[in-house]
Amino acid sequence: MFTRKHVFAGMAILPLFFALTLTAAPNPLQVTIRQTNAGEMRFRITVVNPTDRPLSISIQHGHDVLFEDLTARPTYENIFNLSDLEDGDYVVLISSGKEKITRTIHIQTETKIDRQLTVE
């Protein structure tokens, strides 16, 4: 059965859909985080900023900000050596205006015990 209540619900959803579509970022930031060499604790963070808007790049551990940089360049690139950091989760936060991108780098030390037995 088609009632006035159903018509109102459909009309409310349509403007919401258009509002979400129109506010989408036309040129979103592109972020890559890659290890420079296998086995090393060095990472390259690259951010492509097609709108040249100011952006902030930070690395955080809990409430501590370990690194922060502000730039408006079209491409940001930096290599970070994380070998002196303690085990744990480190958050890379890139923000520009209302756009926020987070990536987590998990550092965990593993100790391998290799016991061997020989019979002579």
Q: Is 90 exposed, middle or buried (0-12, 13-18, 19+ CB in 10 A)?
A: buried
CATH number at residue 77: 2.60.40.3080
The pTM of this model reads 0.68
On whether residue 40 sits in a domain, the answer given is yes
pLDDT at residue 39 greater than cutoff 60:
yes
pLDDT at residue 23 greater than cutoff 60:
no
Domain range spanning residue 100? Answer: 27-107
What gap in Å lies between CA 12 and CA 32, rounded to an integer? 38
Return the pLDDT at 89: 93
